[in-house]
Amino acid sequence: MSKTFAINAGSSSLKYQLYNMPEETVIAKGVVERIGMDNSIFTIKFDNQKEEKVLDIPTHKVAVELLLNALKEHEIIKDLTEITGVGHRVVAGGELFKESTLLNDEVIKQIDDLGEFAPLHNKAEAEVMRVMREELPEATMIAVFDTSFHANMPAKNYLYSLPYEYYTDFAARKYGAHGTSHNYVARRAAEMLGRNVEDMKIITCHLGNGASITAVEGGKSVDTSMGFTPLAGLQMGTRCGDIDASILPYLMKKLGLTDINDMVNILNKKSGTLGVSGLSSDMRDVEIAAEEGNERAQLALDMFNSRVIKYIGQYVAVMNGVDAIVFTAGIGENSPETRQAVMEGLTWFGAEIDTDRNKTRDEAIISTDSSKIAILNIPTDEEVEIARDVERLKNK
Ligand code: ADP
């Protein structure tokens, strides 16, 4: 039996799940938070037990060492050689990486260099890869890119209407994100409907703190709402989504800002549901406030739902049809209210949500039997998809 890690490193965090493969059973999982800050938090869950420690974890290297030691201490593994595979989630693959790729020194350097596209993520991811290769030299190690599912969209959908040379010279294009999740739920939807994903048109709505919608035709992403970076598309927890670029110089003048990065920081961190509601980036808080009559909270919800409806409508047109609409991620999976409100805006297409079936957080078909479009709720599982990719490349 081989053990495989799915690793998701962020600028100050490291999430992990350890699987027995090919059974796909999770034997340990957890997260290291606040890396590089005071009072870092290390958690591990295994065998119905949970350990949480608060200590200073100055670097990702220390986080990895702590994790590997914890696995041995709790006798989850006896020896590091039992871990035969590691899949690392990478946020930006740029134009270079259009599929999951085996790691070597050069690939890690290229991922590091792509930091220009995802400053908060790729550098940390490359560092974790280097440390893990030192600790687990025998393991098959791969990178799984958030962007690769979208890498083969048609040019008419990934290009911006800018001077063409900006694409050829600077790789300025739409890259999208959440690819592993969109891919997983699209395939799972086809399985649940007893159909072949290759014959289907599916719209996948990944609605979490970060949110994106993808048009999946024949199992491939043909268009997606996030752009050059995850700032574009829907209204998100703290990100504004689509916006007219001309508003930036106007607002900078009004706000007395001279550095464009300060403005972009506002669009990324102070906008979206947080900015509109003035309350919280968390949909749960905003839903409660709206119920209590807070008008701006209600407005934030209406704006969020409206963007989702518009993107779904757009993608029905992009594919000239749709067989299934899938909801996933924090809000998509857990908020029947959001799913109901969104689908009520799409009845003209013949989509009919079943109010009773919609009262769920689990995997389910939530449309009525007479609905022309299947509607599904599918908890996403990016980690298992990463572990599967490790197996696939290992056996190649
Ligand atoms: P990310 O991975 O992008 O950080 P998640 O997919 O974990 O985000 O989603 C987190 C978000 O899901 C939270 O910010 C919250 O808004 C939303 N969420 C979680 N549970 C619920 C719920 N019961 N109702 C509404 N929204 C929820």
Residue by residue, DSSP assigns 123-139 as HHHHHHHHHHHHH-TTS
Distance CA 99, CA 269 (A): 30
Quote the ligand 1 centre to 133 CA distance (angstroms): 33
> What DSSP designation does 24 have?
T
From edge to edge, which strands make up the β-sheet containing 364-365? Answer: 220-224, 211-217, 201-207, 324-328, 374-377, 364-365
282 lines ligand 1 (CB under 6 A): yes
With a cut of 90, say whether residue 68 has pLDDT above it. Answer: yes
At position 353, the amino acid (one-letter code) is I
Q: Which residues of 227-252 are buried (b: 16+ CB within 10 A; e: fewer)?
A: bbbbbbbbbbbbbbbeeeeeebeeeb
Would the CB of 331 count as within 6 Å of ligand 1? Answer: yes
Query: Is residue 284 lining ligand 1, measured as CB closer than 6 Å?
Result: yes
DSSP-derived secondary structure for 123-188:
HHHHHHHHHHHHH-TTSEEEEEETTGGGTTS-HHHH--SS-THHHHHH--S---S-HHHHHHHHHH
Enter the pTM of the model: 0.94
Amino acid letter at 386?
I
Confidence of residue 11 (pLDDT cuts 50, 70, 90): confident
Computed over every residue of the chain, the mean pLDDT equals 96
74-93 average pLDDT score: 96
Whether residue 329 has its Cβ less than 6 Å from ligand 1: yes
Segment 287-293 shows an average pLDDT of 97
pLDDT reported for residue 40: 95
What's the confidence (pLDDT) of residue 121?
87
Closest to 327 (Cα-Cα) out of 203, 180, 195: 203
* Residue % of the chain over a pLDDT of 90: 95
User: Does residue 208 have its Cβ closer than 6 Å to ligand 1?
Assistant: yes
| 394 vs 252, more confident | 252
Decide: helix, strand or coil at residue 206.
Answer: strand
Mean pLDDT, residues 48-62: 95
The whole-number average pLDDT for the span 12-41 is 95
pLDDT of 119 > 80? The answer is no
What average pLDDT does this structure show over 178-207? 98
Neighbours of 326 (CB within 10 A): 26
**Residues taking part in catalysis:** 146
Residue 115 pLDDT: 87
Measured in Å, residue 330 CA sits from the centre of ligand 1 at 3
Q: Which residues of 305-321 are buried (b: 16+ CB within 10 A; e: fewer)?
A: bebbbebbbebbebbee
Residue 283, pLDDT above cutoff 90: yes
Ligand 1: which of 120, 282, 287 to mutate, judged by most atoms within 8 Å of the beta carbon?
Answer: 282
State which ligand 1 atom lies nearest to the alpha carbon of 329. 6
Q: Per the structure block, which two tokens stand in for 121?
A: 């993520």
At residue 152, the pLDDT reads 94
Angle between helices 179-192 and 382-394 (to 10 degrees): 90
Looking at residue 65, its amino acid is E
Per-residue pLDDT tens over the stretch 148-178: 999 999 999 999 999 999 999 999 999 999 9
What pLDDT shows up at residue 131?
A: 96
Give the residue-averaged pLDDT of 232-258: 97
Cα 346 to middle of ligand 1, angstroms? 23
Pocket test for ligand 1, best of 15, 234, 239, 284 (most atoms within 8 A of CB): 284
The strand ranges marked E within the chain are 2-9, 14-21, 25-33, 40-46, 49-55, 83-90, 101-102, 140-145, 201-207, 211-217, 220-224, 324-328, 364-365, 374-377
Q: Which residues pair with 19 in a beta bridge?
A: 4, 26
Residue 329 Cα to ligand 1 midpoint, Å, equals 7
Give the closest residue (by CA) to ligand 1 atom 1: 209
- Cα–Cα dist 241/210, whole Å: 10
Question: For ligand 1, is residue 210 a contact (CB within 6 Å)?
Answer: yes
pLDDT at 395: 80
pLDDT of residue 107: 97
Ligand 1 midpoint to CA 168 (Å): 37
Res. 120: pLDDT tops 80: no
Higher pLDDT, 51 or 395: 51
- H or E element in which residue 108 lies: helix 105-113
Residue 117: the pLDDT is: 86
Nearest to 23 by CA among 396, 393, 394, 391: 391
Counted residue by residue, the chain has a size of 396
Tokens of 218: 């024949």
Q: Could you tell which of 205, 209, 288, 381 is best to mutate to test the pocket of ligand 1, judged by most ligand atoms within 8 Å of the CB?
A: 209
pLDDT per residue as tens digits for the range 209-241 = 999 999 999 999 999 999 999 999 999 999 999
Task: Tokens for 102, please give them.
Answer: 């085996």
Q: What is the pLDDT of residues 369-387, one digit of tens each?
A: 999 999 999 999 999 999 9
Which token pair is 214?
């993808």
| pLDDT at residue 290, rounded to an integer | 97
Kindly report the protein residue whose alpha carbon is nearest to atom 12 of ligand 1: 330
Model pLDDT, residue 298:
98
Dig out the tokens for 304 from the structure: 């969020």
pLDDT exceeds cutoff 90 at 78: yes
- Tell me: pLDDT of 33 over 90: yes
Sheet with 101-102, side-by-side order of all strands: 49-55, 40-46, 25-33, 14-21, 2-9, 83-90, 140-145, 101-102
CA quadruple 317, 173, 114, 57: dihedral, nearest 10: -50
For ligand 1, is residue 359 a contact (CB within 6 Å)?
no
Predicted pLDDT at 116: 86
Calculate how far, in angstroms, residue 249's C-alpha sits from the geometric centre of ligand 1.
32
Nearest protein Cα to ligand 1, atom 7: 330
